[in-house]
C-alpha cells in the first residue's frame, strides 16, 4: 500500500467526482484534494500535466496504493475490493446486478449526454439560442433516463435504490439528481427518485462530499 494519503483530482461541481467523494467518505478514507477547474483557463483538464495523468482529460482521477485510476465506477469498485467496509455492492448476486444496472444507466445513459463537453458542442450548433438550446437538450437527456430509472426503482428500491443499504447505485443517483435540479427538470413524475434522494442527502457522507462544501467551491456557492 502507498504511504501517505490518496490524492483525488476533482472539480467541485463534477457529478463523477462527487460519486467518488461519497465513496471515500462512506469508507472513512482520508484523502487530499487537488482541484481541477473544468472552466477556468479554457479547462485545466486540458493542460499537458493533467493529460499526462489522465489521457481522457477528465475528472475524477485518484492516486492510491501506488496506482492512478480514472473513471468513477472503476475507482469505486477498486475501493470496494480493497476496503470492503462498509459494503457498496450487495452480497446477493441478483441485487449486485441491479446495483450495477442502475449505476450504468446513470453513468452511461444519462450523465454523458448532458455533461459540459456535450453542452458546449450543442451550444456551438445553435449560437443564437445557446443557453435555451443547451437547457432543452439537457432536460431531454435527463428526463428520458429518469423515465426509465423511476420505473426500475419501483421494483428494486427499499429505503435506497436497491433495498435498505446504501450502494454504488445511490452514489450515482444523488449527483445526477443535483444535475437535474440545476437544469430545472420537473420532478413531479419521479416520486421514487425524489424520496430516495431526500433520504440519502440526510446522510453525513453525502453532506460532506456535497459540491457546496469542497475546497474549490466558489464563495457564493458555499453552504
Residue 200, domain CATH: 1.20.1050.10
Q: Which domain holds residue 67?
A: 7-86
Give per-residue burial for 168-206: e unless 16+ CB within 10 Å, then b.
Answer: bbbbbbbbbbbbbeebebeeeebebbeebbeebeebebb
Residue 69 lies in a domain: yes
Q: In the listed set 23, 52, 86, which residue is the last one of a domain according to the structure?
A: 86
Is position 173 within any domain? yes
Domain assignment of residue 216, yes or no: no
pLDDT of amino acid 117? 86
Q: Total domain count for the chain? A: 2
Strands 61-64 and 32-35: unpaired
Residues 102, 191 within the same domain:
yes
Query: Within a domain: residue 167?
Result: yes
The answer to whether position 220 is within a domain reads no
Q: Would 221 be classed as within a structural domain?
A: no
Taking the C-alpha atoms of residue 76 and residue 20, their distance in angstroms, rounded to an integer, is 6
pTM attached to this predicted model: 0.94
pLDDT at 158 over 50: yes
pLDDT tens by residue, 69-90:
999 999 999 999 999 999 999 9
Euclidean distance between CA atoms 27 and 39, whole angstroms: 30
Task: Assign residue 39 the CATH number of its domain.
Answer: 3.40.30.10
Claim to verify: residue 64 and residue 162 sit in the same structural domain = no
Both 31 and 100 in a single domain?
no
Q: What is the pLDDT of residues 75-130, one digit of tens each?
A: 999 999 999 999 999 999 999 999 999 999 999 999 999 888 899 888 887 666 78
Amino acid at each position: 500500500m502507498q504511504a501517505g494519503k490518496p490524492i483525488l483530482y476533482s472539480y467541485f461541481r463534477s457529478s463523477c467526482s462527487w460519486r467518488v467523494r461519497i465513496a471515500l467518505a462512506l469508507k472513512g478514507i482520508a484523502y487530499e484534494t487537488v482541484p481541477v477547474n473544468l472552466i477556468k483557463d479554457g479547462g485545466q483538464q486540458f493542460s499537458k500535466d493533467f493529460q499526462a495523468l489522465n489521457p481522457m482529460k477528465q475528472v475524477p482521477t485518484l492516486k492510491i496504493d501506488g496506482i492512478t485510476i480514472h473513471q468513477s465506477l472503476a475507482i469505486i469498485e477498486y475501493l470496494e475490493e480493497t476496503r470492503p467496509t462498509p459494503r457498496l455492492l450487495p452480497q446477493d448476486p441478483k441485487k449486485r446486478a441491479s446495483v450495477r444496472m442502475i449505476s450504468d444507466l446513470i453513468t452511461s445513459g444519462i450523465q454523458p449526454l448532458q455533461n459540459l463537453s456535450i453542452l458546449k458542442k450543442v451550444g456551438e450548433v445553435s449560437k443564437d439560442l445557446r443557453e435555451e438550446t443547451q437547457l432543452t437538450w439537457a432536460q431531454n437527456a435527463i428526463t428520458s433516463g429518469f423515465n426509465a430509472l423511476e420505473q426500475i426503482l419501483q421494483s428494486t428500491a427499499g429505503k435506497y435504490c436497491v433495498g435498505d443499504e446504501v450502494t454504488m447505485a445511490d452514489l450515482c443517483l444523488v449527483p445526477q439528481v443535483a444535475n437535474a435540479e440545476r437544469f430545472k427538470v420537473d420532478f413531479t413524475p419521479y416520486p421514487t427518485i425524489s424520496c430516495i434522494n431526500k433520504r440519502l442527502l440526510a446522510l453525513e457522507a453525502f453532506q460532506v462530499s456535497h459540491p457546496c462544501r469542497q475546497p474549490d467551491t466558489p464563495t457564493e456557492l458555499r453552504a
